[in-house]
Structure 1
Amino acid sequence: MDFSSFDSQALLDQLMFYLTTYGIQLLVAILVFIVGKWIARKLSNGLKRIMLKSNAEETLCTFIGNITYFGLLAAVVIAALDQAGVNVTSFMAVLGAAGLAVGLALKDSLSNFACGVMLIMMRFFKKGDFIEAGGVMGTVKAVKIFNTDLNTPDNKLISIPNSAILGGAITNFSAEPTRRVDLVMGIGYDDDLKKAKALLVKIVNEHPLVLKDPAPQVELSELADSSVNFVVRPWCKTGDYWRVFFDVTEQVKLTFDAEGISIPYPQQDVHMYEEKKQ
């Protein structure tokens, strides 16, 4: 190669031309992206704060805020590409075709997104509610675009696809202000039936967290194989459910022991006959 004909000045001029022409465009595009992303975050957070001040549900506010942020971020990316000299029209056409293919490939994710919108709009539950959905029980931490986060009673975080929640039964244990505690208490066949019932009525009526209205219910429900069973059904505030459940169960055991009433366990009577010899 003949380096004598190599024009370093022409190369330098050409390099400077590209730097001044496209370098500035690139810097402007990067600046547009950074500033636009910051504005998108501020606008989405501002919208969330406005909705919270208007007493909208926190779950709905978070969901709308996330949707707004990602929508604005997509517009910022397109604007940055335009500043960088990319033919946005052609890019959008290619992006549309690619979006169709990606949409078909990610149909499950799109289904989760649509189900997330439905969960928010239908208001089956809100943040802080204790629910059973998708085969899992826990407290709602957040409803996100594609999944819902639950905290289990033993403090595990479980993310459930929104489609799995909407596609099955949803039990909201926190929806109503009061709940009924359902207990079954058994006594022996030889025990005093009326005395046992009177003790059960006294236990639930004296508990400070048991509501007077609706009145607690204590009724004989079953003559079982090994016991005579009562249903004990006190009402309480939803937040007091487990405290009442544990307290009443413990107090029944202590009271029955003190009053000489047995709590039988499953048993069978075996009768043996001597076979007469012929």
Structure 2
Amino acid sequence: MIRPLRTWLFWLFLWVSAILHAVSANAQETPVEPETANEQETVEVTQDKLVVEVTDESISADDLEILLVPLTAKELSDVAGTWQGYVRSQLEDVAQTSRSLLSASGKQEDSLRSQLASQSESGSVLLNNYRIVLEAWTLKGANAEDLQPHTNYILALKAGALKTTDFQTLFQNAWAWLFSWEGGVGLLMAALGVLLAVWAMMFVARMVRRVTESGLEKIPTISRMLKRFIATAVFWAVFVLGILVVLALFGVNVTPLFAVLGGLSFILGFALQETLGNLASGLMIMVLKPFDTGDYIQVGGSSGFVDEMSVVSTKIRTFDNQIIIVPNSKIWGDVITNVSASEERRVDLVFGIAYSDNAAQAIDVLKELVSKHELCLKTPEPEVFVGELGDNSVNIFCRPWSKSDDYWTVYWDLTGQAKERFDAEGISIPFPQRDVHLIPVEGTKS
């Protein structure tokens, strides 16, 4: 009983070992390369099929632009050569027809002109597809040496067509182009579309600016100048980006524009260093808010109300309505006195009286004038005192408080009222005077 069981286990072990050995051998003999090769073969077949499709003469321009995207620069080079051959073959037919037209007359001439118009239209379609291929090749990094023969060929075709075509045919072609969707009508519609798009972008940019302004109004810590700057920057950013998108939709290649802008920014960075300094100073002023529009400031030897501020300069309006334009770098590099920063301001007045007058009486008069003035604040409490014994007068300091907007009204009112009350009370306001004593010298007549 035990022996047959051992025999059966032995043969079972051999059978399992043989199966595992066969599976292992098959795994070693079946490399991954054939599968990869099949995949590569499938890719090559797909690429070949794509090349066949983009070199079909009957393909539309829209389909051609889409199918050219996956192709490499090398493949596009071959495709460009194929389309050049199509254009050459079509132009050969046009040349033969034009040659026959020179000696034709009557019905034969009309027939040839009709045939020539049809051939020219087909040639225009082929030439347009040829250009599309060259544009795609350029974007994929075509060498200038490889691309130059194609561009020269297209330029030569245009010049040759003008030289070899008679006036009547040129007039017919120009007339047909003018009223075709691919020519004048299409160009007019494109221009109207661009104008409409510009108007739409202006409308959208204004809407975005309004939304931005309403959002910034909810942030009290931002100055009015910074809010205006951000809103203006958002407006122009939306407008410019919208125009670029519209140009791209109309088939304009906007990629070179970015390269041009990059080069211009590099050049302007060196040429406009002082302007960039004003820009940086303007941004610092807007962010740190040493003053805002409507404030009365003293800076750089000028004083007045801030009317407007750009990123380059600040417009200050003086009391006599003069406009002073100060560069931002001059403002940021100087001491800035913001008179309107506080809601309340002390009015400093000095009144001189004669030494023979009663100082206490003059102080009582000034206190009465301050207490009766509507614009003088009760708190902080005003101060009136003898502050200085001058050469010609006793100077009494009068220091009431008022709102910053009422400063000059209080200043001028108290000055005039004090003069009238001093005259009524018999208090004199002395003017500068000097006593001159003449001392006789011996030997001179007195």
Asked if Structure 1 and Structure 2 have the same fold, meaning a TM-score greater than 0.5 normalized by the shorter chain, the answer is yes
Unaligned runs of 5+ in 1: none
Tell whether 2:169 aligns with 1:7.
yes
| Candidates 41, 46, 54, aligned match of 2:211 | 46
Give the structure, 1 or 2, with the largest relative contact order (CA under 8 Å, sep 6 or more).
Answer: 1
Q: Determine if contact 1:30/1:80 at 8 Å carries over to the other structure.
A: no
Q: CA deviation at 1:189?
A: 2.0
CA distance in 2 between counterparts of 1:248 and 1:38 reads 54
**Which segment drifts farther, 25-34 or 261-270?**
25-34
Pair 81,141 (structure 1): closer, same or farther in 2 beyond 3 Å: same
* Cα distance in structure 2, aligned partners of 1:176 and 1:247: 22
Q: How has the CA–CA distance of structure 1 residues 179 and 11 changed in structure 2, closer, same or farther, with 3 Å as cutoff?
A: closer
Shift in Å, 1:203:
2.9
Cα pair distance change 1:14/1:205, threshold 3 Å: closer
Once the two structures are superposed, the pairs formed by residues 251-262 of structure 1 within 5 Å of their partners are 251-262=417-428
Structure with a larger share of its residues in helix: 2
Identical amino acids, percent of aligned pairs: 37
What is the one-letter code of the residue matched to 2:348?
A: D
Instruction: Label 1:77 to 1:145 Cα distance change in 2 as closer, same or farther (>3 A).
Output: farther
Match of 1:243 among 398, 406, 409: 409
Q: 110, 115, 121: which is aligned to 2:281?
A: 115
The structure carrying a bigger strand percent of its residues is 1
Tell me, in whole angstroms, the C-alpha distance in 2 between the residues paired with 1:207 and 1:224.
Answer: 28
Aligned pair 1:174/2:174, yes or no? no
Q: Distance in 2 between matches of 1:41 and 1:145?
A: 20
1:25–1:83 CA contact under 8 A, matched in 2: no
Cα deviations by residue, 1:170-227 (Å, 9 ceiling, x for unpaired): 2222211111111111111222233333333333333332223222222222222211
Tell me the distance in 2 between the aligned counterparts of 1:192 and 1:24.
Answer: 91
Calculate the aligned-residue CA RMSD, in Å: 2.9
Q: 1:236 to 1:3 in 2, by over 3 A?
A: closer
Aligned pairs (5 A) from 1:17-96: 17-19=182-184, 25-52=190-217, 57-96=223-262
Instruction: Please say which structure displays the higher CA radius of gyration.
Output: 2
Give the number of aligned pairs.
278
Aligned runs of 1:88-237 on 2, under 5 Å?
88-237=254-403
Return closer, same or farther for 1:248/1:21 CA change in 2, 3 Å cut-off: closer
* Alignment gaps of 5+ in structure 2: 1-162
SS at match of 1:137: strand
